[in-house]
A and B are shown apart, each in its own frame.
Chain A
Amino acid sequence: GDSVTQMEGPVTLSEEAFLTINCTYTATGYPSLFWYVQYPGEGLQLLLKATKADDKGSNKGFEATYRKETTSFHLEKGSVQVSDSAVYFCALKKAGGYQKVTFGTGTKLQVIP
């Protein structure tokens, strides 16, 4: 079946450091890929998405590129802020009789001043 694998957390970075959170997927067909962010005490929010190979999603300084050849969708940010501290989830969504959404286990990011 479909699956999403994220790097283990927690990830602790100093403010202004470069961030990479790895995400790889296994799926048949051509899924759409998403990154969601969950701030403490809140639900998940869409951060960015990409719907086909080589698409780059971007938002709030975060970027991720849909790499079909490596089945990856790594999240990057050039300079993290304390306010980026949250849990990040990678997910895929496929077309079909119903919309099945598969989430990774989440990666907790802590940014220290």
Chain B
Amino acid sequence: DSGVTQTPKHLITATGQRVTLRCSPRSGDLSVYWYQQSLDQGLQFLIQYYNGEERAKGNILERFSAQQFPDLHSELNLSSLELGDSALYFCASSVSEGSYNSPLHFGNGTRLTVT
């Protein structure tokens, strides 16, 4: 158990809809990362937060947004969903910003299916 909790585990929704994915980081971790993993593709970095502040953006679409709350949990909002957004969405956390040798701890992901 990594200590990172993601909910829900599965989500099925229709095109054009909006969903929210939630992540609770490991206790004590201040950094949260979001990744998208499509079928037969690697991990696409979406966005990173540190202690409530956005730190880095990757290949995140304008239809997607995220935030990290004061209690350090994070939410990823996906709107105007398209079939191509169907994927596994992973959250990961890390202990601090300065510790470059600390690993990421991943949740088990949310599988999003857009029909």
Which of B2, B4, B42, B48 is close to A89, meaning CB atoms less than 8 Å apart? B42
Residues of A within 8 A of B2 (CB): 43, 45
The 23 listed contacts between A and B (C-beta, < 8 Å) are A36-B104, A41-B108, A42-B108, A43-B2, A43-B108, A44-B43, A44-B106, A51-B101, A93-B101, A94-B100, A95-B100, A98-B48, A98-B55, A98-B56, A98-B97, A99-B31, A99-B94, A99-B97, A99-B99, A101-B33, A103-B45, A104-B42, A106-B42
Which of A36, A93, A104, A105 is close to B100, meaning CB atoms less than 8 Å apart? A93
Instruction: Give the number of residues in A that approach B within 8 Å (Cβ atoms).
Output: 27
Q: In this assembly, does B41 line the interface, its C-beta being within 8 Å of a C-beta of chain A?
A: yes
Q: Is the CB of A45 within 8 A of B42?
A: no
Residues of B within 8 A of A82 (CB): none
Least Cβ distance of A81 to chain B in Å? Answer: 22
Q: In this assembly, does A34 line the interface, its C-beta being within 8 Å of a C-beta of chain B?
A: yes
Q: Is the CB of A105 within 8 A of B42?
A: yes
Q: Is the CB of B98 within 8 A of A95?
A: yes
Q: Is the CB of B50 within 8 A of A32?
A: no
Q: In this assembly, does A74 line the interface, its C-beta being within 8 Å of a C-beta of chain B?
A: no
Q: In this assembly, does A68 line the interface, its C-beta being within 8 Å of a C-beta of chain B?
A: no
Task: Point out which of A32, A43, A49 has the most chain B C-beta atoms below 10 A from its C-beta.
Answer: A43
Q: Is the CB of A106 within 8 A of B43?
A: yes
Q: In this assembly, does B109 line the interface, its C-beta being within 8 Å of a C-beta of chain A?
A: yes
Q: CA of A51 to CA of B101 in the docked complex: distance in angstroms?
A: 6
Q: CA of A49 to CA of B55 in the docked complex: distance in angstroms?
A: 24
Residues of B within 8 A of A93 (CB): 100-101
Known A-B contacts A45-B2, A93-B101; A103 and B90 likewise in contact (beta carbons under 8 Å): no
The residue in chain B whose Cβ has the minimal distance to the Cβ of A105 is B42
